[in-house]
Every structure is written in C-alpha cells, then in structure tokens.
C-alpha cells in the first residue's frame, strides 16, 4: 500500500485572497462545490484502493475538526494531522516520520484529483526512486480552455505540473531538500540554479530536450531515478490558486458529480 501526505499549510505572513474572501483561517478550508477544498483531495485518496494511511500537514492540527471528511477518516484510523514546519522540506520530512513508504505527496488545493488519476500515477512508478506528475497542454486545455496559463515547454510538447509527487522510500527524501527555500522556482530562478544546475536551467528555459531526457539529467545530478509521469486527465493540473481557478474547479466538480457533492 502507498501512504499519502496532503500539504495544507499556509505561507507565513502571506494573506491569501481566497482565504480572506471565504472568511476562513486556512486556504484548505475554502469551499469549492459545497465542500472545503481539502475534502475533495482526502476523499479521492481514501477512495483509491492503492492508498493506505494518510496524513495532513498543517500548522493548527485542530483545523481538521472543522472538516467532516477528515474527522471521519481520523475516526476510522486512516488519517492523522501533523504539525507543519516553517518550510516545505521540513514539513514533508516531519510528516513522513513513522509513515510507511512509498509515499504520495499532494496539495490541499488539488481538488480535481480522482482515484483513477491516483491509480494511474502509482502504476507508472515502477523502477523509480521518485516521480513527478505532469499533464500535456492539450489535455489541460481540453479539460478547460482557461484552466491553466503556465506551461513548461519541452522539445516534443508543453506540460503543466500536477502538484503530485511520489517517493519510493526514505532515501528519496534527500530530493526534498531542494525545496527548503520554499520551492517557488518560477518567482526565483536562482533557486533552480542551486537545485538543478545552471546548464539544466538553460536547457529547461529554452525547452531544449524532451521531458524524459530532462528528467534523465535530473536523475544523474541527484543520483536518483526521477521519473516524469504524464497523466491522461488534464484537469489534474488545475489547482485552486485564485478566483479564476476556483470558479473553474467548482464548475468541473459540479459537472462531474453534482448529486454526489450535494449529498456530502
């Protein structure tokens, strides 16, 4: 069985517009299609037959008492909350202690994650030490024409990150160290230089090489087999970051299963 970690912490001293508009303390509590966004993620993980124990990394553990779906999973012995740390790397490392591997890591705003997508990702991890989920540009736009505006260009196609990651065992946690500064690579290219090397940054910026060959170079740099997994559902790349993506995610969720969501 694969364990799962949901990252639900908030950035220190940063006011999230969605959180403020909803009048809640954490972004993960913002309602999307009548449920706190973290409920959609937890429900998808719980519904996958490949997922066993789950943890939520958040600053205030008592927050889960405000989310019925999390309370139910906690009562069933499948979920527990752990204290988030000041940075992403320490949060993942702390949350993984005592939790079995392999480990699937995702975020509380990945509300369009489905059990089928989770199973698809896990089935493609054989032989890897770590994996990163992507979706092709055309599949993301097919899910919604305005669902994602930032894509990474490679030699053969453009992709969007799906905010889902997989680690084979505890030794793969060494890769998490590259996100100790926060992981906001798009806003601070120097972090990419430190994490991936200048040559890789240049090749990445200009779309030189395929997605697969790029990750082969990353694997060589870190001495770990890091695999990009291209998911078939482009909606997996649409996370809730702002009012625009909130409306899109809500529309897609209600279109998928309006009766099921209303009944929650």
> pLDDT tens for residues 225-247?
999 999 999 999 999 999 999 99
Residue 156 lies in a domain: no
Residue 253 lies in a domain: yes
The C-alpha atoms of residue 104 and residue 165 are separated, in whole angstroms, by 6
pLDDT value for 202? 63
Residue 44 lies in a domain: yes
Average predicted confidence (pLDDT) for the chain: 88
Give ∠ CA 190-141-128 in degrees, rounded to 5: 55
CATH of the domain at 246: 3.90.550.10
Beta-carbon contacts of residue 144 (< 8 Å; ≥ 6 apart): 235, 238, 248, 251, 252
Residue 178 lies in a domain: no
pLDDT, tens digit, for every residue of 62-73? 989 999 999 999
Q: How many domains does the chain have?
A: 1
**pTM confidence score:** 0.90
Of the pLDDT bands very low, low, confident and very high (cuts 50, 70, 90), residue 263 is very low
Return the higher-pLDDT residue of 49 and 87.
49
Residue 187 lies in a domain: no
Mean predicted confidence (pLDDT) in 49-70:
95
State the residue range of the domain holding 115: 2-134+161-173+225-259
pLDDT value for 15? 80
Residue 155 lies in a domain: no
pLDDT value for 4? 98
pLDDT > 70 in the chain, percent:
85
pLDDT, tens digit, for every residue of 83-133? 999 888 899 999 999 999 999 999 999 999 999 999 999 999 999 999 999
226 touches 215 (CB < 8 A): yes
Going along the chain, which residue ranges are E strands? Answer: 2-7, 31-32, 35-36, 51-58, 79-83, 103-107, 130-136, 152-153, 158-167, 226-231
For the cut 50, the answer to whether the pLDDT of residue 187 exceeds it is no
pLDDT value for 204? 63
pLDDT > 90 in the chain, percent:
69
Residue 105 lies in a domain: yes
């Amino acid at each position: 069985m694969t364990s799962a970690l949901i990252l639900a912490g908030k950035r220190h001293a940063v006011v999230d517009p969605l959180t403020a508009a909803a009048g809640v303390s954490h972004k993960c509590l913002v309602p999307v299609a009548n449920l706190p966004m973290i409920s959609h993620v937890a429900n998808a993980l719980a519904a996958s037959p490949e997922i066993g124990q789950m943890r939520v990394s958040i600053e205030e553990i008592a927050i889960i008492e405000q989310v019925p779906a999390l309370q139910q999973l906690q009562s069933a012995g499948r979920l527990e909350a752990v204290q988030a740390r000041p940075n992403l790397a320490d949060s993942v490392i702390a949350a993984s202690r005592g939790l079995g591997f392999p480990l699937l890591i995702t975020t509380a705003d990945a509300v369009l994650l489905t059990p089928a997508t989770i199973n698809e990702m896990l089935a493609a991890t054989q032989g890897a030490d770590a994996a990163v989920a992507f979706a092709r540009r055309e599949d993301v736009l097919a899910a919604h024409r305005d669902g994602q505006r930032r894509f990474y260009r490679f030699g053969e196609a453009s992709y969007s990150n799906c905010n889902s990651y997989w680690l084979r065992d505890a030794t793969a946690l060494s890769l998490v160290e590259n996100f100790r500064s926060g992981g906001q690579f798009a806003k601070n290219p120097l972090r990419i230089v430190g994490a991936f090397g200048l040559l890789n940054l240049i090749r990445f910026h200009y779309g030189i090489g395929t997605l697969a060959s790029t990750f082969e170079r990353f694997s060589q740099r870190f001495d770990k087999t890091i695999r990009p997994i291209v998911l078939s559902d482009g909606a997996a790349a649409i996370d809730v970051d702002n009012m625009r993506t909130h409306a899109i995610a809500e529309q897609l969720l209600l279109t998928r299963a309006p009766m099921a969501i209303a009944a929650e």
